Amino acid sequence: MELDKQKNFKDLVQMTSIYKGIPEMAIQKDYLICKILGNLAETEYVQNCVFKGGTSLSKCYPGSIERFSEDIDLTYLPKGNIKKKALSRELKIVEKILIGECFFEPINAERNDRNKSSQVWLNNMLKDTGIKLEIGAVVRPEPFEMRPIKSYLQEFLEAREEQRLLKEYGWHEIFVNVLDIRRTFIDKLLAVKRHALCGTLKNKVRHIYDIKKLMDRLDIQEFLKNTDELRRILRLTKETDIEYIKKRATARDYDPVGKFAYGSWQNIISAAEIKKRYESLHVDLLYTSIKQDFSEALAVFAQIDKILSDIGE
């Protein structure tokens, strides 16, 4: 039984909103994200898709970041080498499975043989309040592993021990392939540098917040101490960036395989407009009303720069 088609859906959303302390719209979007991934988890294609990006952190590494995430970013791993047209057909098949009975509209400007993007929403949502679904097959994401995922609504019902409702809605633990948090950390770290040099950092300040939050985690701190593993993940990420840059116009100053060299772009990240946006994230993006300290974020980047500089990166 699909909960979003039931009369009590709105009531459960309201109660879960109070329980989690976050807006009702965030609860609905979270439900939609888990519904879409649940569609994937019930098929064989779950083995060929890797969930990545900020939403993968908030859903598969609970507590890692505390902010709104409004998209699903998946990488498709085809079985062997296939031609572009065949790959495009496979991506469409997987996209159809993911969307299921939801409403959707293709984002034509972001669709080609190796990438499919759509806006997806529920019957009781407006199109603009839905989420963006993107599935691509440009590069291989590594490392990744199967991790569980559940919606905030499911968490609420489990906390109340509502076993009857959980069974009625057919909710159980589902698993999807997720990009390793260490790789996502490095992805975001290099993305901050790339956007700084491309002049687009103002629209990507959330990456700065994510890096600051992830640095509080013990597993990330241990990762940064492991020189061999750090170098390996950096190499994988830089190789991915090379492919990314080939397909996009970017700043001439950005070298995807170059050193982090924080000092050469520190003035960009320290700009007043970046500080202003960072210190307003709590207004429209974070699950908190507490203003973030920009100086702490800059200190984290300086700390990371020292670590990378010490190993020649």
Q: Which residues pair with 73 in a beta bridge?
A: 52, 134
Answer for the pair 213, 188: CB distance below 8 angstroms, yes or no: no
Amino acid 247: pLDDT? 62
- Residue 261 CA to residue 297 CA, distance in Å, equals 17
pTM recorded for the entire structure: 0.93
Answer for the pair 127, 105: CB distance below 8 angstroms, yes or no: yes
Q: Cβ-count burial of 129 within 10 angstroms (0-12 exposed, 13-18 middle, 19+ buried)?
A: middle
Q: Cβ-count burial of 185 within 10 angstroms (0-12 exposed, 13-18 middle, 19+ buried)?
A: buried
Residue pLDDT, tens place only, 74-129:
999 998 889 999 999 999 999 999 999 999 999 999 999 999 999 999 988 889 88
Confidence label for 173 from pLDDT (cuts 50, 70 and 90): confident
Q: Which residues pair with 112 in a beta bridge?
A: 115
The answer to whether the peptide bond before residue 106 is cis (omega within 30 degrees of 0) is no
Sort strands 103-106 and 71-76 into parallel, antiparallel or unpaired.
unpaired
Confidence label for 251 from pLDDT (cuts 50, 70 and 90): low
Answer for the pair 107, 119: CB distance below 8 angstroms, yes or no: yes
Residue pLDDT, tens place only, 280-290:
999 999 999 99
Tell me which fold the domain 3-179 belongs to: Nuclear Transport Factor 2; Chain: A, (3.10.450)
Q: List the single range of 47-51, 134-138, 178-182, 271-275 with lowest mean pLDDT.
A: 134-138
Q: Which residue spans of the chain are classified as CATH 3.10.450.620?
A: 3-179
Residue pLDDT, tens place only, 197-238:
999 999 999 999 999 999 999 999 999 999 999 999 999 999
